[in-house]
Structure 1
């Protein structure tokens, strides 16, 4: 401690006569605070643990790692056989750091979170704590069954009761010859100094102690009662609350956490896990850095109760890549009195409800020394079990943080569940509106994976910026899936294959066609911008004040990105946006729904598509969600789609019901982030996978995805007044779907002798798809249709398909797929259909 610094234990020492006696660094390592506890009123507050006091992540990690190196030297050749055990909640990160220092030893920490389906390998009580039950839940029971040294890590070693209780229970099951106890501070009293030697003799094993500093606390007579009275006095007076500014913007940053790497040591953490985490840390830190506000000079990475190591390592990696002061601490269950005095260790506290469905029921949780600390940004890191509506509630952690920092980011680490635990055993994951009564395994004939992959993001997957959309898809870029259009059509119509089992060869537009696209974009950008604004305002007014946009890949994805941009620019809302696959006849990707339910409230999810044709996908989604609810027991997903254009009158939430050209329909992947349409084939997509898609990196030179987005979003300001007027009018109108498009399609199907509504594709967007992907028979165009159909006429000319003008047509145009197609068939005019 520097001479001009006030010791953060002086306030308690002066009022209660408490003395901290010991090694010279003890005052630098510890401060003092008070808490309401019937057993011990004072609290030793570590300055280097990263729990109550924000500290440099390098300092926090460095202390644990250095202790691990000392253990390594102590054990010598036995270090390679050691297993490290840390204590929840306070020492989970410290223990993990110690394990890193002991030649990257396997690591396990105790937990207060039961996990159904995972057998207990032990448990014990913590005598002085406010929450006593500790469980040991290793994925591999053999982790504790070896005969190598067991290293037990806690932040403080005082009476030694907790650690000796642990060793006594484990030694009865798995006897071994050597134990090492590690603590930041050895605070045993003179009366307790000999107990460890006596205990070692009792169990017949060697027990060593390694600590960064040692000392003791001298407590005067009656200190417990005096401390309790002091706490009661200050609580009655009310704690000082730092002035809160306007609530900050809260945004989510997707980490890209490596699949299969545990979030910590609750079920064990191996050398292999550590190697994969080390490899992934720089990229995850870069994603956080990219999401921080420009000019941030002071950043706090805030972990969550037992989740200490993952946010610590993220903070330390972030410290290396940004030019800002990074600090690290975590939330806690421990209630401590806050006193805004430089001589007191806890200057402020934030109180919020528990948000992880705790086994001990709802209750208060705390974050200390965050309010009033002047952080420019706070990165809250939680596991997915804690990513619940309660986290985002008006009185939840994120809202509380937003009152005390200009910017708040949320980063979620997937909660790890051992592979052998049943789906029902993942009860500790995000609470749902209705508990699952049927395991996922029952609905799919296989066991649900413990962790579903995090969304794919650009630039690794798609040409969109990583914050614009997360793709809940499997990357099949290295698989050859393309087949000639005619072969695909014949296989689909003959029943030999489903259209989603292969991909059409990507259409390469001619210079003339590209010119048509750019002309159409210039002409229609303002009209599209207005429709984007109207549908977004409708969603915000009727569906959710903070919706989770889920685009139906891929036509819905550009629309979802534009809706997200509108919400951000007009309302400052940084909405989560994902893209998922839905396949006609096979439903929506159930694994994607499971991931969404684990990370968001299903009631906030709004499905987004580009346009409606006859409404087949609208019906497909409703049917699929009913089936999903029956099989998984997850409720709350709303089946209605929000679309840019609804010419078929199939939905209530839309930007317009006009059938006009949306330029994103003119092209395939080159206007959709270079992503293919989605693929569902059993040999490529397993029961534990998302549906697949390809990223066409090789088409980057032709990509206009972001040109389209920018051209439309650049018009947002000029259409704002029109959006407000139209949205107000629509919100007051009767928008009940009439399904007139479906009726028209049925009529056309019969009139033209097709007798299959799936081969009738109404609207400009669907007609364009027919010409780009299928074997078209003829195009019906509304008489007098103008420039909206220039690209359709060009494509039809290139493919030798007749365009027939029809006076009475509810759509601008309709594409008819050749019925009963076989290669060599001819069109109505006698021309060969297959080129």
Structure 2
């Protein structure tokens, strides 16, 4: 049977926000619709996703032009990649436990990048795309026809002959379903060779008629398999009688009027000197895409090298580059797309992505038409079907001051560099062309000496850490984030809604994010005043805890901070070790979630790359010690499940007012200014996220990088202000560390006892709703909906920011004579707007 899966509202918003148009407010299909009577009927999002054009094709005159595919219309690479990821995540949710056995198959040429992106969203799924380029020595595992296409024959050439032989779900990805014939042909061919019980068909748009949809349902019944359908939008194309003939006549008339291409060989040659080759440093043996299969191991390797390759491209951009196009090559879509997305993250330029194509399309410079301009050049990869024309659309006249052409080495031929070749055509329309060549991957014959075996799908093959400036505003050497980037996902919810969902049991706090608090001018002044007043005290505490770690825990520790409050402290400890001892300590940030434990995949990565005995977990401060207990339990469970031992769960913290740990810089409860703000003092990184539809069993926990808040970022300024005071406190900090090492520092858990007492005294009866200490009280005021704040009588300037936040939120501050902490934040149980507290007072929001 066929089952349609509707997208959630978040995906709908992403489609609306990401839709791009080539002609301002005009729909880029109106020109064709007016002249031929072609109509798009269906979801109201169709015209956001699609435009219309005409092409030279004896089988179909019109062409649906996607705004978000990255083929004919230059688009933000984040939008292109994001649509594929979103579809993949929906497939993962649909398949549930079966997702781990799925294989993804994409269609050449337009859906090679989309299919690969869907595989990324699905998780640890091998990926293969069909190809129109035969490869000598590689056996064909199947083939099928795409009847309406300009080039119809598809080949399947996996390196691993068993790639398609499993009985897990097969996920087939195309950019559009027009009739469903291509899918039918594919399943018919493969089901004979590799029968299975389930198929999932994925596309951006489903434009089949009811009759075509019925054919797929009947076919699924015939072969006894389940076929699910996942799309972003659906509808149909209404074609009036005689549209093919009218379309062909219209194309012929406009092409005759246009005549020869405006840029002839002489004009193109004049710009040939503006082409510069850029070395990417592509790793040897890493496939350039999914033509022969792309495994999770390949994906992990690619993720680890993408930042360095994008940095090379960024360095090669001319000074002042404002608008950059990364142009892929026919089937080579995914690697250029990922390079473009990475470049978009590390440069201030506006980056767009599209690719060249075999498909001949009429260009009409009209806002209501999807293909405004066309560059024509000879094929340059010695194609099996002989020489012919190739095309790049909407590049000329688009205002790009740099074009980065990315091709594979099989296409780096004299034809590419000829006076009428692609590079010359591009150089005639942009001041700078950069050429990046990716080695063409050709599998060695299975019987060749030292032939590599097909990579398996190891559960522990995890990507290397994310680093700034692509992820976080910290310099790349200061911290590596063992997280996955969820920046493109909408996760924020109003504070009151989150509080109600959390306390009602309908959601866990780590499944969403609070809206980032934007500090007022008065609050920012308080932060800077607090930093000025406490920088030396903080530097002293950093010195004490770092010296303690180096003496007692490991002479060469691997710092692993608990994201995100621990991360600034981890960076400062790393800086102290460098300043005082000349050590260059590794530092990573990992996620730990109360009630869910630490990220086990991050621990696996750490165990693969370091001795677990050298790992020192770092946090900012302790409150009642909940995270301390959580970490100890999580590490014990990890060691039991994985058989990996050596991790010491004791946390090193800057401040331990709750007396929960042995390794600390101070046990005073005073303001650490990094607690005053959210992401803008933590590298612009959000709190970590753990949600089943976003984080699979082999994924790191997620987080967002708030690039848009760069103007308010004080992360590095905070670090610099503290580390600048190292010289003046160094001797005293080292002396105090020596004294502490000679004393009994056994935790007394005074904080936990105090929290239990406060919980009962104020009628809360849940220690998780009591947030002790300056840091925790600040956090609850920024993220949650507190009932009241208890402040120790006589507390001074350390609480200025707490009083200001409480005033802004209408939260009462109650002074208490006997309080073991400087302040405590209280959340009322079962928070609802207008509820009353144990003392009969209204709970304010």
Return the TM-score normalized by structure 2: 0.50
Q: Which residue of 1 aligns with 2:94?
A: 74
| The structure with more radius of gyration | 1
**1:293-692 equivalence runs, <5 A:** 293-420=318-445
CA contact (8 A) 2:280 2:436 kept: yes
CA contact (8 A) 2:52 2:369 kept: yes
Please give the secondary structure, in 1, of the residue aligned with 2:155. strand
1:290 to 296, 309, 315: 315
Measure the CA separation in 2 of the matches of 1:293 and 1:448: 42
Please give the secondary structure, in 2, of the residue aligned with 1:212. strand
CA contact (8 A) 1:116 1:421 kept: no
Show CA shifts across 1:22-59 (max 9, x none).
Answer: 11111010000001111100000000000000000000
Q: Which residue of 1 aligns with 2:241?
A: 221
Moved over 3 A (4+): 1-4, 239-246, 446-450
Q: Which residue of 2 aligns with 1:12?
A: 32
Per the alignment, do residues 4 and 307 of structure 1 end up closer, same or farther by CA in structure 2, a change over 3 Å counting? closer
Q: Which residue of 2 aligns with 1:128?
A: 148
CA contact (8 A) 1:111 1:136 kept: yes
Q: Which residue of 2 aligns with 1:88?
A: 108
Gap runs ≥5 in structure 1? 423-440, 451-835
Q: Which residue of 2 aligns with 1:56?
A: 76
Q: Which residue of 1 aligns with 2:43?
A: 23
**1:272-291 equivalence runs, <5 A:** 272-291=297-316
CA contact (8 A) 2:374 2:392 kept: yes
Measure the CA separation in 1 of the matches of 2:149 and 2:127: 23
Show CA shifts across 1:42-86 (max 9, x none).
Answer: 000000000000000000000001000010010000001000000
**Residue 234 (structure 2) pairs with residue 209 (structure 1):** no
Q: Which residue of 2 aligns with 1:137?
A: 157
Measure the CA separation in 2 of the matches of 1:332 and 1:120: 24
Show CA shifts across 1:415-439 (max 9, x none).
Answer: 00112269xxxxxxxxxxxxxxxxx
Q: Which residue of 2 aligns with 1:109?
A: 129
CA contact (8 A) 2:180 2:213 kept: no
Measure the CA separation in 2 of the matches of 1:234 and 1:418: 45
Measure the CA separation in 2 of the matches of 1:241 and 1:290: 34
Question: By how many angstroms is 1:241 displaced?
Answer: 6.1
Measure the CA separation in 2 of the matches of 1:58 and 1:85: 22
Per the alignment, do residues 12 and 204 of structure 1 end up closer, same or farther by CA in structure 2, a change over 3 Å counting? same
Measure the CA separation in 2 of the matches of 1:17 and 1:240: 29
CA contact (8 A) 2:406 2:438 kept: yes
Q: Which residue of 2 aligns with 1:163?
A: 183
1:235 to 244, 248, 255: 255
CA contact (8 A) 1:158 1:188 kept: yes
CA contact (8 A) 2:24 2:367 kept: no
CA contact (8 A) 1:254 1:287 kept: yes
Question: By how many angstroms is 1:376 displaced?
Answer: 0.5
Question: By how many angstroms is 1:448 displaced?
Answer: 9.4
Measure the CA separation in 1 of the matches of 2:33 and 2:133: 35
Per the alignment, do residues 10 and 314 of structure 1 end up closer, same or farther by CA in structure 2, a change over 3 Å counting? same
Q: Which residue of 1 aligns with 2:598?
A: none
Measure the CA separation in 1 of the matches of 2:275 and 2:452: 30
Measure the CA separation in 1 of the matches of 2:374 and 2:24: 26
Question: By how many angstroms is 1:261 displaced?
Answer: 1.0
Measure the CA separation in 1 of the matches of 2:262 and 2:365: 9
Please give the secondary structure, in 2, of the residue aligned with 1:181. strand
Q: Which residue of 1 aligns with 2:119?
A: 99
CA contact (8 A) 1:242 1:371 kept: no
Measure the CA separation in 2 of the matches of 1:340 and 1:104: 43
Q: Which residue of 1 aligns with 2:192?
A: 172
CA contact (8 A) 1:239 1:338 kept: no
Per the alignment, do residues 390 and 421 of structure 1 end up closer, same or farther by CA in structure 2, a change over 3 Å counting? farther
CA contact (8 A) 2:261 2:376 kept: no
Measure the CA separation in 1 of the matches of 2:57 and 2:261: 23
Measure the CA separation in 1 of the matches of 2:139 and 2:239: 42
CA contact (8 A) 1:240 1:340 kept: no
Measure the CA separation in 1 of the matches of 2:412 and 2:452: 19
Question: By how many angstroms is 1:258 displaced?
Answer: 1.5
Measure the CA separation in 2 of the matches of 1:193 and 1:138: 30
Please give the secondary structure, in 2, of the residue aligned with 1:167. helix
Per the alignment, do residues 80 and 447 of structure 1 end up closer, same or farther by CA in structure 2, a change over 3 Å counting? closer
Question: By how many angstroms is 1:259 displaced?
Answer: 1.6
Measure the CA separation in 2 of the matches of 1:279 and 1:61: 18
Show CA shifts across 1:431-482 (max 9, x none).
Answer: xxxxxxxxxx9xxxx68999xxxxxxxxxxxxxxxxxxxxxxxxxxxxxxxx
Number of aligned residues: 428
Please give the secondary structure, in 2, of the residue aligned with 1:147. coil
CA RMSD after TM alignment? 1.9
Measure the CA separation in 1 of the matches of 2:259 and 2:232: 34
Question: By how many angstroms is 1:193 displaced?
Answer: 2.3
Q: Which residue of 1 aligns with 2:276?
A: 251
Per the alignment, do residues 282 and 112 of structure 1 end up closer, same or farther by CA in structure 2, a change over 3 Å counting? same
CA contact (8 A) 1:240 1:348 kept: no
CA contact (8 A) 2:445 2:451 kept: no
Q: Which residue of 1 aligns with 2:63?
A: 43
CA contact (8 A) 1:334 1:365 kept: yes
Question: By how many angstroms is 1:239 displaced?
Answer: 5.8
Please give the secondary structure, in 2, of the residue aligned with 1:210. strand
CA contact (8 A) 1:349 1:369 kept: yes
Question: By how many angstroms is 1:172 displaced?
Answer: 0.4
Measure the CA separation in 1 of the matches of 2:452 and 2:223: 41
Please give the secondary structure, in 1, of the residue aligned with 2:44. coil
Question: By how many angstroms is 1:158 displaced?
Answer: 1.7
Q: Which residue of 2 aligns with 1:572?
A: none
Please give the secondary structure, in 2, of the residue aligned with 1:44. strand
Measure the CA separation in 2 of the matches of 1:64 and 1:133: 24
CA contact (8 A) 1:22 1:216 kept: yes
Return the TM-score normalized by structure 1: 0.50
**Residue 217 (structure 2) pairs with residue 192 (structure 1):** no
Gap runs ≥5 in structure 2? 1-18, 454-845
Q: Which residue of 1 aligns with 2:202?
A: 182
Per the alignment, do residues 283 and 239 of structure 1 end up closer, same or farther by CA in structure 2, a change over 3 Å counting? farther
Measure the CA separation in 2 of the matches of 1:241 and 1:119: 40
Measure the CA separation in 2 of the matches of 1:226 and 1:157: 23
**1:822-833 equivalence runs, <5 A:** none
